[in-house]
C-alpha cells in the first residue's frame, strides 16, 4: 500500500491542482491532500474553507482524503505513515525552491521521497494568486477553477 501526500496552500484550489490530484490518485493507492495551516502566510481563505473546497473536488476519488496540517511536513508525513510527497512543477521558477525543499526533507528523513509531477501544459500558467487577481478585477475565472467551487471563490474575493 503506497500512501502519498500532496501538500499546499490551495488558496484557492485551481484546475491545475485538480489535475495533479486526479493523476496522483491514479498512481498511488492512497492520497492525502494536505492543506498547510500556516499562520505566517496570509491566506484569503481559512484552512477550513480551503479544505471544504478540496473535499468537493476530491469527492469523485475513493482513494483521496483531505486533511490539514501545521509544522513540519516530514513529521506530518510520518504521522500519516506516508513516504511519498507529491509536488507539482510548472516552470523552472518552481524548480529551484522545490529542489531545495526536497533535499532538506530528505536530510531530515531519508525515508521520504519527493515525487515531482509535471504540470499539464493547459495549466502551466495557472496559480492561486492569478485566480485571485483576475477575480478581484471582475474577470471570468470559470475556465480556471473547478465549477463546484466557482461560487465560493467569487463570493470571497474582494473586488478592486
Ligand atoms: P504552495 O504554498 O506550496 O506554493 P500551492 O497551493 O500554490 O502551494 O500549490 C500546491 C502544489 O501544487 C505545489 O506543489 C505547486 O507546485 C502545485 N501547483 C500549483 N499550481 C499548479 C499547476 N497549475 N500545475 C501543476 N501544479 C501546480
Each domain of the chain, given as residue ranges in start order, spans: 3-156
Distance (Å, whole) CA 126 – CA 40: 23
| Residue owning grid cell 504521522 | 79
Residues with catalytic annotation?
17, 41, 90, 128
User: 3-state class of 127 per DSSP?
Assistant: coil
Highest CATH level, class, for 3-156: alpha beta
What pLDDT is stored for residue 39 in this prediction?
A: 67
| Whole-angstrom distance, CA of residue 123 vs CA of residue 50 | 20
Indicate if ligand 1 lies below 6 Å from the C-beta of 114.
no
Q: Indicate if the pLDDT at residue 71 is higher than 80.
A: yes
Which of 88, 98, 124, 128 to mutate to test ligand 1, by most ligand atoms within 8 A of the CB atom? 88
- Which cell numbers in the block locate residue 56? 468537493
CA–CA distance, 98 with 140 (Å, rounded to integer): 30
Residue 28 has pLDDT above 70, yes or no: yes
Whether the link from the prior residue into 155 is cis, omega within 30° of 0, is: no
Atom 9 in ligand 1: residue holding the nearest Cα: 8
Closest residue by Cα to atom 10, ligand 1, is 8
Q: What are phi and psi of 120, to 5 degrees?
A: -70, 135
Question: Measured from the CB, is residue 28 less than 6 Å from ligand 1?
Answer: no
Average pLDDT over residues 126-142: 96
Q: What is the mean pLDDT of residues 94-121?
A: 94
* Atom 16 of ligand 1, nearest CA residue: 88
Task: Tell me how far apart the alpha carbons of residues 17 and 114 are, in angstroms, rounded to a whole number.
Answer: 17
Q: How much is the pTM?
A: 0.95
Question: What confidence score (pLDDT) does residue 160 get?
Answer: 79
Q: How far apart are CA 14 and CA 146, in angstroms?
A: 7
Higher pLDDT, 91 or 144: 144
In what side-by-side order are the strands of the sheet with 84-89? 64-69, 30-36, 3-8, 84-89, 113-118
Q: Give 30-42 pLDDT, tens digit per residue.
A: 999 999 997 677 8
* pLDDT of 92 higher than 90: no
pLDDT for 94? 85
Torsion sign, CA atoms 73, 74, 75, 80: positive
Q: How far is CA 111 from the centre of its chain?
A: 22
Amino acid at each position: 500500500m503506497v500512501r502519498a501526500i500532496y501538500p499546499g496552500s490551495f488558496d484557492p484550489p485551481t484546475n491545475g491542482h485538480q489535475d495533479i490530484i486526479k493523476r496522483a490518485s491514479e498512481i498511488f493507492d492512497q492520497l492525502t491532500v494536505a492543506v498547510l495551516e500556516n499562520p505566517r502566510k496570509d491566506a484569503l481563505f481559512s484552512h477550513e474553507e480551503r479544505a471544504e473546497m478540496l473535499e468537493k473536488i476530491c469527492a469523485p476519488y475513493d482513494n483521496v482524503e483531505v486533511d490539514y496540517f501545521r509544522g513540519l511536513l516530514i513529521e506530518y508525513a510520518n504521522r500519516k505513515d506516508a513516504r511519498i510527497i507529491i509536488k507539482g512543477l510548472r516552470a523552472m521558477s518552481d524548480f529551484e525552491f522545490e529542489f531545495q525543499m526536497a533535499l532538506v526533507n530528505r536530510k531530515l528523513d531519508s525515508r521520504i521521497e519527493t515525487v515531482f509531477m509535471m504540470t499539464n501544459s493547459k495549466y502551466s500558467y495557472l496559480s492561486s494568486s492569478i485566480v485571485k487577481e483576475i477575480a478581484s478585477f471582475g474577470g471570468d475565472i470559470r475556465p480556471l477553477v473547478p465549477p463546484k467551487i466557482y461560487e465560493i471563490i467569487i463570493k470571497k474575493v474582494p473586488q478592486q
